[in-house]
Structure 1
Amino acid sequence: MTPQDLDLPSPAAMSRLDLFGDEFVRDPYPWLDALRADAPVHQDPGTGLWLVSRYDDIRRVLLDPAPAVFHPDNAQDAVTPLPVGVLRVLARAGFRLPPALANNGTDSHHGLRRVVTRFFNAQRVAAAVPVIERIADELLDAAQRRLEATGSCDLFEVYAQILPCRVLMELLGIDGVDPATLIRWSDASLELFWGRPAPERQLELAALVGEFSQWLTATVSAAPARPGSFVEALSRHRLPDGRPLDVGTAVGVCFFVFIAGQSTTGQLISTTLHRALTEPRLWSRAADEQGFPEAWVEEVLRREPPVTTWRRVAAEPVTLGGVDVPAGAQLLLMLMGSGSDPEVFDAPDHMCPHRANARHHLSFGVGRHRCPGASLARTEAAVALRVAARRLPHARITPADERPPILGLLSFRAPLQVRVAP
């Protein structure tokens, strides 16, 4: 069977693949299917990145044992080169990204990761459920008032993006800043480092990222840290040589945790709600059926995760997927495409809650760098869906929002609008 038989882009068409273009952002699946079928390890001429699209190859890279062939050093590098003016803005703010979590291949990674996983352990996540439910109810009170007053409401704006931010603030013991500011800083960071902004936009984003960095530095440096807070846990941590954690690395850890804990979780909630509202009878099942919201979230993570790709760099020449990859190659692991690999998932283009191997997806990574907040993200998305479906039982997606604007960064994708009518 040829790509034409499957209505996939032909191998020759790969030359016009644009990872930031509307065609790919709006519907990446034909491209991901074609890559997986015909070019499982493909160097993208637009970015220079080597796109790795088959499940087994991606899993191999992520599980790479020490001493590693595939290093995480480039995980948080700016995809679009930062001009001198932008670098100056960041430097004046004292911003830097030392090896901390996602970009850390050094011997300090294990200990830093342990701090995060212990803080977001199963007991803390279970204890957070009433907090999530309380905040969800508060936000949906406002959503209901807006629905009654205007006849429509954007659940992304008033619910999906705010809920994880407020939950994270409570769990981390953060105050003195409003959620809207944290969301603006976090989203600016995503766009600057994973987007393709114009130079003028880069300067605007850099100013916001600089503000974020300065606030994080002040928060981490404040003494004494609030007892039981995440900052206190970082202050007690010791590096492999026995030294206390330096402020710059602590800021790098917090930078990653804040972005993952609010922006990407908000994106997961947005996708979860939008897909549930567009599937017949699914909204009522989410409200009433025990275990269904959790199963639905898992299928969303498999098929349409908020983190669509992740990066690695080859430290030496290596053969991957039958392709010789040179040393220094910048790899882009197509996590979103791996969840639709027919070698692993039956009928991958169909959403099948409760599928037997649903949790085999790679959307949270696997191995040493698996997302330490995966349990919290899953829980927040499931609670957000259940509470919204119960509180707004007659909500329906407005016709104009069946195809909403989509966030289209290199590694992040989600609906930017979930407008509903009563």
Structure 2
Amino acid sequence: MTSPALDASPPLGLLDLFGDGFVRDPHPWLDTLRAQAPVRHDPGTGLWLVSRHQDVLRVLLDPDAFRPDNAQHAVTPLPVAALRVLARSGFRLAPALANNGTASHPGLRRLVTRFFHARRVAAAVPVIERVADELLGTAQEQLDASGGCDLFPSFAQILPCRVLMELLGIDGVSPATLIRWSDASLELFWGRPAPQRQLELAALVAEFHQWLTRAVTDGAASPGSFLASLAAHRLPDGEPLDVHTAVGACFFVFIAGQSTTGQLIATVLRLALAEPGLWSRLADEPGLAEAWVEEVLRREPPVTTWRRVTARPVELGGVELPGGAQLLLMLMGSGSDPEVFSAPEDMCPHRADVRRHLAFGAGRHRCPGASLARTEAAVALRTAARRLPDIRTAAAEYAPMLGLLSFRAPLRVAVERP
């Protein structure tokens, strides 16, 4: 997977962040942005695209100058009809985690981190293995019956959802419903849907918000669960956490903890199956699954971009930005910056400097679930290679891609037996 030379670079005037060409292969565009316009205004979205590793890192490490307030704003303005649907449900995304630059953020982050710290993730490995084995058993039956199977809905998508529900003590909703709500939320806030589609998505997001509100307020959460911990949390002034902020925290954790991890697993599986000689080694070679996941995170992360807004006029990458400038940090592009990674277009497991990638962000807003996502993806990959050693990507398979502003992954991982 090699990006073309810059003399064959696509013209930036034709860049469409939602276009099929960019979604299918963003790397030529990202390479051109880094080389020719590392901080560039995109007229299609009104965002300033920041593509060099050093500039992205600077923004992430300075949340006072580059605030997270816009991280969860709808990319495509919502029509009045969709806003009414959301308003009737009481929908509101108060500053909680990814979009929180206030004094309440450190305490909320510590609360979330307690549920995803390294010891808890290590203890969850048997849960991940058990659920993965169960799901792959079903996939194996489908392969036996028909010779083919799509590992995205049957495995990659549902595995992290079920694991998250067990780890956080979530009940009263099916995994399929939680996945549907999460996917609708991603599309509504990070996609470019038509007005009628926005209305349909708003109805699902309203359902999600109403369920989250009931879960936070009904007092039925199990002791020690994530929801019970939110109910017991106190803000810096000693006041209990308000319902809107608690719901906002759940909204982010539930989506990030299962949708984006499912996207990572799908990408990891698809690229591993396409890499000559890799699949047969994954089941038994120590550390290979983990190394492959890390290299995928560098080159093809599921969270491709993230937003920030300037708190005041500032210079970035040689460009003077006004206060209130909306930035789009090209996380995927930063992972292929040749100033940081040698031969960035090559997939090299055990790359020495791979942990310099920014797939999980950096600084005080770095993803608190990074360890869980890495572990789930590695366990999923290793278990799939062990349970399904003789599969290959289905012949002539065209994988549709999720192409949202900040999320990209294959929506199919169709496999077959030779």
TM-score, length of structure 2 as denominator length = 0.98
Q: Could you tell me whether the CA contact under 8 Å between 1:268 and 1:381 is conserved in 2?
A: yes
Pick from 268, 275, 286 the counterpart of residue 264 of structure 2: 268
Alignment-derived partner of residue 84 in structure 2 = 88
Partner of 2:58: 60
2:9 aligns with: 9
Is it true that 1:408 corresponds to 2:403 in the alignment?
yes
TM-score (norm 1): 0.97
Structure 2 residue matching 1:365: 3-state secondary structure: coil
Name the counterpart of 1:77: 73
2:4–2:28 contact (8 Å) kept in structure 1: no
1:6 to partner: Cα distance: 2.8
How much has 1:42 moved relative to structure 2?
0.3
Q: Which amino acid aligns with 2:166?
A: E
- TM-superposed CA distance for 1:7, in Å, is 4.5
Answering whether residue 27 of structure 2 is matched by residue 24 of structure 1, we say no
1:42 to 40, 43, 67: 40
**TM alignment of 1:230-245, pairs within 5 A:** 230-245=226-241
Match of 1:417 in 2: 412
Aligned-partner residue type, residue 358 of structure 1: V
Whole-Å Cα distance in 2 between the matches of residues 136 and 239 of structure 1? 38
1:275-295 per-position Cα deviation (integer Å, ceiling 9, x unaligned): 000011111111110000000
1:225 Cα deviation after fit: 2.4
2:358 pairs with 1:362:
yes
Shift >4 Å, 4+ stretches: none
**Paired position in structure 2 for 1:140:** 136
Q: Deviations over 1:117-150 (max 9, x none)?
A: 0121111100100000000010011101111111
Structure 2 counterpart of 1:371: 367
Instruction: Give the secondary-structure state (helix, strand or coil) at the position aligned to 1:153.
Output: strand
User: For residues 384 and 85 of structure 1, do their structure 2 counterparts lie closer, same or farther at Cα, with a shift above 3 Å needed?
Assistant: same
Q: Secondary structure at the match of 1:312?
A: strand
Percentage identity across aligned positions?
Answer: 76
Change beyond 3 A, Cα 1:91–1:417: same
- Whichever residue aligns with residue 9 of structure 2, its letter is P
The residue number in structure 1 matching 2:97 is 101
Q: Which residues of 2 match residues 271-420 of structure 1 at below 5 A?
A: 271-401=267-397, 403-420=398-415
Task: Please say if 1:51 is aligned against 2:66.
Answer: no
Shift of 1:177: 1.1
Deviations along 1:71-124, whole A, 9 cap, x unmatched? 100000000000111100001011110000000000000000000001211111
User: After alignment, is 232-241 or 164-173 more displaced?
Assistant: 232-241
Measure, in 2, the Cα distance between the counterparts of 1:391 and 1:298: 22
**Counterpart Cα distance in 2 of 1:302 and 1:257:** 22
Alignment partner of 1:212 out of 205, 208, 213? 208
What SS does the corresponding residue of 1:269 show, helix, strand or coil? Answer: helix
Task: Give the drift of 1:176.
Answer: 1.8
- Cα distance in 1, alignment partners of residues 46 and 401 from structure 2: 24
Partner SS, residue 333 of structure 1: strand
How many residues in Structure 1 have an aligned counterpart in Structure 2?
415
Deviation digits for residues 363-384 of structure 1 (CA, Å, limit 9, x no counterpart):
0000010000000000000000
Q: CA RMSD in A?
A: 1.1
Q: 2:243 aligns with which of 244, 247, 251?
A: 247
8 Å Cα contact 1:8/1:34 also seen in 2? no
How far, CA to CA, are the matches of 1:175 and 1:223 in structure 2? 13
User: Within 2, Cα distance between the matches of 1:162 and 1:204?
Assistant: 23
CA contact (8 A) 1:15 1:45 kept: no
- Taking the aligned partners of 1:253 and 1:400, their CA distance within structure 2 comes to 42
Distance 1:5 1:175, change over 3 A: closer
Tell me how far apart the structure 2 counterparts of residues 79 and 333 of structure 1 sit (CA, whole Å). 14
> In structure 1, what is the Cα distance between the partners aligned to 2:259 and 2:219?
28
Displacement of 1:313 after TM fit?
0.3
Spell out, residue by residue over 1:305-354, the C-alpha distance to the aligned partner (whole angstroms, 9 max, x if none). 00000000011111100011111110000000000000000100000000
**CA 1:7–1:283 in structure 2 vs 1: closer, same or farther (change >3 Å)?**
farther
Q: How much does 1:5 deviate?
A: 4.9
Give, as a single letter, the amino acid of the residue that structure 1 aligns with 2:301: P
1:116 pairs, out of 112, 115, 119, with 112
Give, in whole Å, the separation in 2 of the partners of 1:174 and 1:6. Answer: 49
Which piece of structure 1 moves more, 72-81 or 167-176?
Answer: 167-176
Residue deviations 1:175-229 (CA, integer Å, cap 9, x gap): 1211110000000000000000000000000000000001101111121420110
The answer to whether the 8 Å contact 1:7/1:30 transfers is: no
**Distance across 1 between alignment mates of 2:165 and 2:415:** 27
